[in-house]
Structures are given as C-alpha cells and as structure tokens.
C-alpha cells in the first residue's frame, strides 16, 4: 500500500509540474495576441475584451465542475481579487503595446520579491535578513532592466512594476481567502468580478465620451484572435490551479521563470524583438534573487 501511495504521489507531482510547464509556455502566446490587438484598440479595450472572453469560457466550466466549487463564487475576496487581476492585465497589456514582451515580463518577475516584503505586514510572515538582502539585490536587477528602457519607452517601463505589485497583493488575498474557499472557486469568481467591473467601467467611460473600438467594427481577424486569447487565458489559469493543487508552491516556483524563455521565443518569432545585454543581466539578477527567496521559504517551511 505504501508503494502504491508513493507512486501516486510521484505521478501527481509529475503531472503538476507538466501542467505548470504547459501554462508557462501558453502565457506568452496569449500575451503576443494581446500585443497584436493593441494595434487595433487601446490597452483598456483589449483587457476588457480578453477578460470578458475568459469569463465566457469559465461559464460552462463553472456549471460542469460545480461540485468542485467550495464557497460562493461572488464574494468580497473575489471582488478584490478581480479588481487586482484587472489592474495586472491593464498594466501588462499597456506595457506590451510599447515594449518587447520579454522585457516587460522580466520586470514583472520582481513579483515574488514584492510578495516576500508584503507578506510581512499583511500575513505576519517576517522575512529574515538573508531574504531581505535577496529582495534588495533583485530590485537592483529590476533597475538595470528598467533604466535603459525608461529612456526609450518613458514611464510605460514602470507598468510591469505596477502589475507586479498588484499581482503580489492578489496572491495575498487568495492566500487568506483560500482557507474557506477552493482555489478554483476564487479563480472563477475573480474572473467574473473582473469582467463585470471592466464592462461597467467601459460602458460608463463611453457614455462620458470616450472613443472605443467595437469588435464588430474591427478587422475580421480580431474576433478569432480574441477567442484564442480568452481561451488561452482560461486554460492557463486552470493549468496553474491544477498544478498548485498537486505540488507544493515552493517546488513549482522556479518553473514560473520559464515564461521568460517563452516570451523571448515568441517575441523573436512574432515581433523580431530580442532583449539586449543589460536586459539579460538584470533578468539574471532578478531570477537569481527570486530562486533564492523561494529556497529560503522552502527551508523555513521545513
């Protein structure tokens, strides 16, 4: 019996890791589609379309998997998480419009470092001196990436920083809320809340005079692209949720950095973008600091 249980655990771990790898490979593809869409509409409009399409994909999933949903889909944690998720997407899509995807993602990966700092006041998880030092080194790496890009792209280079802060805050909300609700409930509920909130903002801004691009007036390729973008976003969320349900977060954390590899490949193939030497240097520092923070977190857990 023990051998069978060990084999089952090994299969769960392997399956969770494969799901995480697949998710990190799919995310840059969706980001590339979002970047293409910013040539037709504003980052806000693209975000509204993308999240609304993701919510449509989640509707049948919520019905089919309703027995897996623990707690209410619409709750205050879901509303807060949805608002933070929308902020993350608006910031990243705004960055993608002007910057290479790989560069924006490299800056965004200060998120684990930001989370390590925010976990102290919000979760009572006080970081030790080594972790604080790693965070400081990682932020220096971020400055190395941001500085030349700020000179080229202007304040838009700070959008991935805003996305990282919003994402870290969202992780804190999800950690606290997951004590009473399943991760799937929170993910689907947050998506619904984000979609509803963005649609209300979109309609309100149009009534106040903002010019917005209608999907019906956009080029023919836009709607199929939106279906792909929304479907990919929903699929990656499900893969990540599945991965974290099977494998410890500390084991999955390093796999998240595969997104930079995917973003570099997609950026080169689709847009001809390739990070320069300073970006690679800063990225290496950020990744090294992030891996060390996860190592210390795992050691503390032990």
Q: Is the pLDDT of residue 249 over 90?
A: no
Of residues 294 and 6, which shows the higher confidence score?
294
Closest to 222 (Cα-Cα) out of 23, 27, 16, 53: 53
Q: Which is more confidently placed, 158 or 143?
A: 158
Rounded to an integer, the average pLDDT of 254-273 is 85
Residue 52's nearest CA partner among 195, 211, 151 is 195
Cα–Cα distance list, 248 to 3, 13, 153, 184, 234 (Å) = 21, 9, 38, 17, 22
pTM, full prediction? 0.85
- The larger pLDDT score, comparing residue 218 to residue 192, is at 192
Give pLDDT tens digits for 11-63: 777 888 888 889 888 999 999 999 999 999 999 999 999 999 999 999 998 88
Q: Is the pLDDT of residue 4 over 50?
A: no
Q: Is the dihedral angle over the CA atoms 187, 299, 160, 123 positive or is it negative?
A: positive
Give the tens place of pLDDT for each residue, 117-126: 887 787 776 7
Average pLDDT score, the chain: 84
pLDDT band (50, 70, 90) for residue 1: very low
Between 283 and 87, whose confidence is greater?
Answer: 87
Question: Six-digit token pair at 8?
Answer: 């089952």
Tokens of 16: 């969770």
Determine the Cα–Cα distance for residues 68 and 72; give it in Å rounded to an integer: 12
At residue 202 the predicted structure's pLDDT band, cuts being 50, 70 and 90, is very high
Q: Is the pLDDT of residue 281 over 80?
A: yes
Both tokens of 114, joined, read: 């930001």
pLDDT at 205: 92
Position of tokens 């990966």? 109
């Amino acid at each position: 019996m023990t051998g069978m249980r060990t084999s089952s655990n090994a299969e769960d771990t392997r399956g969770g890791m494969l799901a995480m790898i697949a998710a990190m490979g799919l995310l840059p593809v969706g980001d590339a589609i979002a970047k293409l869409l910013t040539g037709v509409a504003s980052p806000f409009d693209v975000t509204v379309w993308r999240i609304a399409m993701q919510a449509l994909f989640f509707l049948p999933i919520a019905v089919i998997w309703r027995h897996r949903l623990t707690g209410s889909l619409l709750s205050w944690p879901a509303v807060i998480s949805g608002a933070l998720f929308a902020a993350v997407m608006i910031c990243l899509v705004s960055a993608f419009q002007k910057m290479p995807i790989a560069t924006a993602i490299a800056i965004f990966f200060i998120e684990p470092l930001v989370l390590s700092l925010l976990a102290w006041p919000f979760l009572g998880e006080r970081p030790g001196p080594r972790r604080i030092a790693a965070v400081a080194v990682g932020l220096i790496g971020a400055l190395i990436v941001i500085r030349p890009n700020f000179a080229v792209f202007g304040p838009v280079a700070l959008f991935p920083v805003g996305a990282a802060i919003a994402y870290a805050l969202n992780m804190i909300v999800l950690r606290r809320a997951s004590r009473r609700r399943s991760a799937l409930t929170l993910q689907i509920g947050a998506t619904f809340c984000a979609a509803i909130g963005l649609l209300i903002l979109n309609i309100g801004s149009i009534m106040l005079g903002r010019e917005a691009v209608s999907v019906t007036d956009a080029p023919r390729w836009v709607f199929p692209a939106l279906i792909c973008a929304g479907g990919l976003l929903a699929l990656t969320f499900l893969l990540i949720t599945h991965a974290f349900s099977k494998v410890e977060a500390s084991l999955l954390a390093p796999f998240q950095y595969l997104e930079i590899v995917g973003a570099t490949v997609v950026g080169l193939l689709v847009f001809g973008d390739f990070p320069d030497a300073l970006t690679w240097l800063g990225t290496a520092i950020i990744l090294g600091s992030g891996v060390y923070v996860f190592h210390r977190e795992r050691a503390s857990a032990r």
